[in-house]
Amino acid sequence: MKNNKPYKYAILVVILAIVVLFATKIIFFRIDLTEEKRFSISKASKDILRKIDKPINVNIYLGEADANIAYLRNAVADMLDEFSAYANHDISYRYINPANAKSDKERNDNFRRLEERGLSPITISTRDAQGKVSQTLVFPWAEVMLDSDTLPVSLMKPTAMKTGEASVNAAVEELEYNFIEMINILSKTNFDKIAFLEGHGELSEIETYSIMEQLRMYFQIDRGTLADDASILTPYKAIVIAKPTKPFSESDKYIIDQYIMNGGKVLWLLDAINYSSSELSKSGISPVLALDLNLNDMLFRYGARLETTVVQDLQCLYMPINVATVGEPPVFEQMPFTYSPLLMTSPENPITKNLMNVKADFPSFVQQVSLENGIDMEVILATSNASHVDMAPTNINLKSIANINPEQFVNAQFLPVGVLMQGKFESIFRHRQVPNNLTNLQPRRDKSEHTKMIIVADGDIARNEIEQSKAGQIGIVPLGLDRNTGQSYGNSTFIINSLLSITDDDALIQLRNRTIKLRMLDKQKITSDRVFWQLINTLLPVLILTLLGAGYVYMRKVRYR
């Protein structure tokens, strides 16, 4: 009698396969088996993508340079494909290599058009097997288009102390954040309001023009004084106090304090010392005195103290310094300008992760005054391990820079210049009388809701330089740009990330915490064992197939003998 069981099993397998096929069409799921979930996106990204009601087009300008750029190209494609799986509308993308042209003139025109749109190139150096070095110009940018609006996405930013594979890996870690950030901006219809306070000698509108232009992509920005209206700050998600030089009145302090008590966020960019920039430019010498802003008691109650010091650091900008003696013609030499340190950024906090150093000018540092008040303080900007501190009052003498002895110079290390504080803050007016000139008073709160603030002991990190031509025209130098070297630092990104973080946009800012392990091959072994592994990869598969074929033939002979 014929056995029909194999046929029954085959039919069951076919039916099961059909059921699974239809189930996968109905039930959407994706499985990422990588350890760091490199092919998955966050819930915040999925929520933003599901709200998009129109197709998105992306132009990617990455050319072809080396294996690292190829890896980045593939990572961009994987990320956008993952976006498409969750978006309500198509996300299409295409690669445009501006170097592909019929002539040098056409290629240069392509490069010029991209640079005019702010898409600056980087130079990739590659070395072949014979040791010959070649350089390729690459534009690590993409453009995201929704309707008629277009925003650029940086695919690879300069990263301090990282080159080659590590730099590309850092770029891959930030891909999701960079793309989702721009998609979110393009899809937004309502923007949170923030305010730059005035009335205490803060940085002017022209001195903060560069950062305000960048912040307008994320916020609606106002500027103004506090006056006597106690509720004037209520509509604002955050306020920025940028380099005040005059004391705050008690009524101003009350308005700010109660704003914080009701959950308001503050970015404090404060100087603790006062010096004369005009005296420095004339003679190279200026006294340094403590700057009284009448905020010390307020910050102390919140858990921080601004030390009245001037901080120097051997990790700093280089500037032309006049080293000639008095009465002689000026002689300028490039010297490390230790009063402009390059602050290190915390690799642990999403505000500063993978961020270039932040340029400062004559900073001080911040101290935590209590560990028992329930306020969590995290250092996000710090000096290097080669720092120097002078307590005010003291003197600045620029000519001493030329004679620095590192062994005698260094007396401090890793000083906290910028800190993130969060928790429930206690009001400074808990046992004080409310100023009697205020209107629109609300019931006073003595303890805040859980809120955040950032304190940076240098107001100049938000100040852009101003150029004036001989014709009297005024130009704005981009924030963070060192005109002496042409190097850009992370000031703008730091301030933007700080405001995004404290305004509770943590779902997005946490995407910068993405970490992908860099699994690098041993280049020395690759070079020394190159022939061995080539033979293994070419001969071993052939040998295995030969053995399998011989075994199959032998088994057939044994079976049918």
DSSP for 289-308, written as a single string: EE---S-HHHHHHHTEEEE-
Give the CA dihedral 439, 442, 444, 448, nearest 10 degrees: -120
Q: Is the pLDDT of residue 560 over 80?
A: no
More confident position, 198 or 372: 198
More confident position, 480 or 5: 480
- The per-residue DSSP string of 198-245 comes to -SSSPPPTTTTHHHHHHHTTTEEEEEE--TTBTTTTTT-SEEEEE---
140-164, pLDDT tens digit by residue? 899 999 888 889 988 887 654 445 6
Q: Which of 240, 224, 242 is nearest to 232 (CA)?
A: 224
DSSP code, position 55: -
What's the pLDDT at 344?
96
404-431, pLDDT tens digit by residue? 888 899 999 999 999 999 999 999 999 8
What's the pLDDT at 161?
45
What's the pLDDT at 354?
80
What's the pLDDT at 439?
92
Q: Is the pLDDT of residue 132 over 80?
A: no
- The pLDDT-based confidence of 11 (bands split at 50, 70, 90) is confident
What's the pLDDT at 138?
82
What's the pLDDT at 160?
45
DSSP code, position 54: S
Q: Is the pLDDT of residue 175 over 60?
A: yes
Q: Determine the Cα–Cα distance for residues 79 and 177; give it in Å rounded to an integer.
A: 11
313-329, pLDDT tens digit by residue? 999 999 887 666 666 77
Query: How many angstroms separate the most distant Cα atoms in the chain?
Result: 120
218 within 8 A of 259, measured Cβ to Cβ: no
32 within 8 A of 82, measured Cβ to Cβ: no
Q: Determine the Cα–Cα distance for residues 557 and 552; give it in Å rounded to an integer.
A: 9
Q: Please state the pTM of the whole predicted model.
A: 0.79
Strands annotated E in 408-530: 416-426, 447-456, 466-468, 474-476
Q: Is the pLDDT of residue 252 over 90?
A: yes
Report, as an integer, the average pLDDT of 350-362: 91
Q: Determine the Cα–Cα distance for residues 178 and 275; give it in Å rounded to an integer.
A: 40
Mutual orientation of helices 164-173 and 67-86 as an angle, nearest 10°?
A: 10
- The pLDDT-based confidence of 268 (bands split at 50, 70, 90) is very high
Quick one: what percent of the chain has pLDDT higher than 90?
Answer: 43
487-498, pLDDT tens digit by residue? 889 999 999 999
DSSP-based three-state secondary structure for 422: strand
Mutual orientation of helices 67-86 and 43-51 as an angle, nearest 10°?
A: 60
Tokens in use for 536? 């293994």
Q: Which of 112, 135, 108 is nearest to 123 (CA)?
A: 135
Report, as an integer, the average pLDDT of 44-66: 84
Q: Is the pLDDT of residue 514 over 70?
A: no
Least confident of 274-288, 445-459, 516-530: 516-530
- The per-residue DSSP string of 107-148 comes to HHHHHHHHHHTT---EEEEEE-TT--EEEEEE--EEEEEETT
68 within 8 A of 168, measured Cβ to Cβ: yes
Q: Which of 199, 184, 281 is nearest to 242 (CA)?
A: 199
DSSP lists the bridge partners of residue 365 as: 307
Q: What angle do CA 46, 47, 53 make, to 5 degrees?
A: 100
